[in-house]
Amino acid sequence: MQTVTTLDALRDATAQLRASGEIALVPTMGALHEGHLTLVREAAKLAPHVAVSIFVNPAQFDPNEDLDAYPRQLAEDSALLEAEGVALLWAPSAAQVYPQGFATKVSVSGVSEGLCGASRPGHFDGVATVVAKLFNQVQPEIAVFGEKDWQQLAVIRRMARDLDLTLPLADRIVGVPTVREADGLAMSSRNRYLSHNERTAAAALPREMKAAIARIMAGENVNTALNALESALIEAGFTSVDYAALADADSLELLNTAPAGPARLLVAARISSTRLIDNMPVE
C-alpha cells in the first residue's frame, strides 16, 4: 500500500493505478472499525484498485463538537488497510486540504436541511465541501459510503448530480448497509466514547427502533410511535433525543402517516455527550 500526504504524490499514485484499472474510493475520518473494513471489501468487489482517504475534516464539526477528541490512529488504521490489500492511502494534512485563504463552500439545500442538518448547523456544508474535494483529488470511478449516515449519502448523491461531477457519476456512489455489533448497535468510531453502562444502554437504540417500526407497520399513528420511541430511549438511559423521524428514503421529506413507498426511520440521540445516529428501512 502506498501512503501519500501531498497532492503531487497523490496525482502520480492515482495516474499509475488508473493505468491498470478503475479506482474505488472509500472516504473516511479514520479510527477504522469493522464497518469501514466492510466498505473497503465492497469497494474491492467493484474496482481493481481501492483508495482510502483518512482526514478528520474540521469543516464538518461545530466549534463545540468533538473535533479535538475525535480518535486519531493513523499507524493502526494503516496496518488494517494494508491487511485488506488497499492500494492507496490518502492522508492529507488540514493545511493541504484547506490552504491559507481557502474560501469556497459547497452547500446542498433540501436533503441537507432537516434531521442532522437541523441539529448540526453547517455540518453538511463541511461534508459536501470535503467530499467534492476528495472526488476532485483522487478522481475515483466509484465511491463507497456507509448507509449508517443515510442523510450524508443523500447529500453527496445530490451534490454529485448537481455539480455534474463526472467521476464518480452519481450512480456510482455506492451505499453499503450498516454493520452492527452483536446486540444491534451500529458500529461507529464514536462508540468508543461510551462507558460500560452507557454502552449497555446504547443497545436500546436499535432495539427500540425496531419496535417503533413494528408499531408503524401494524398501523399505529406515526407520531404516537415516534413519541413512544423517544420515551423508551430516555427510559433506557439516553440523555436526550435530537430527532426520531420517519422520512421518505430518497427525498428525506418527513412522513406522518404510514409510508406508501420506501421510507426510513432515522434517529439521533445522545448518551451524555456522545451523539449516536442510526436509521433503518420501514418495511
Residues that bind ligand PAF (CB under 6 A): 27-29, 57, 60, 127, 130-131, 149, 152
Catalytic residue among 36, 49, 123, 196: 36
Measured from the CB atom, the residue of 178 and 255 that comes closer to ligand PAF is: 178
Closest to ligand PAF by CB, 143 vs 216, is: 143
Specify whether the CB–CB gap between 35 and 179 falls below 8 A. Answer: yes
**CA–CA distance, 176 with 154 (Å, rounded to integer):** 13
**Could you tell me the smallest distance in angstroms from the CB atom of residue 53 to ligand PAF?**
7
Cα dihedral sign for 240, 246, 252, 256?
negative
- In angstroms, give the least distance from the CB of 145 to ligand PAF: 6
**CA nearest to 155, candidates 208, 197, 113, 212:** 113
Buried b (16+ CB within 10 A) or exposed e, 87-98: bbbbbbeeeebb
To the query of whether residue 36 is one of the catalytic residues in this protein, the response is: yes
Smallest distance, ligand PAF to C-beta of residue 74, A: 15
Min dist. Cβ of residue 29 to ligand PAF (A): 4
For 13, the enclosing helix (H) or strand (E) is helix 7-18
- Residue 28 or 38: which CB sits closer to ligand PAF? 28
Nearest CA to 179 out of 202, 209, 147 is that of: 147
* Cα 116 to Cα 99: distance, rounded to the nearest angstrom: 28
Which residue in this structure is represented by grid cell 427525498? 251
The smaller minimum CB distance to ligand PAF, of residues 108 and 226, is found at 108
Alpha-carbon span 148 to 53, nearest angstrom: 18
Buried b (16+ CB within 10 A) or exposed e, 110-132: ebbebbbbeebeebbbbbbbbbb
**Is the dihedral angle over the CA atoms 189, 193, 196, 197 positive or is it negative?**
negative
Question: Smallest gap, in angstroms, from Cβ of residue 225 to ligand PAF?
Answer: 28
Residue 54 or 201 with smaller CB distance to ligand PAF: 54
Residues with catalytic roles: 36
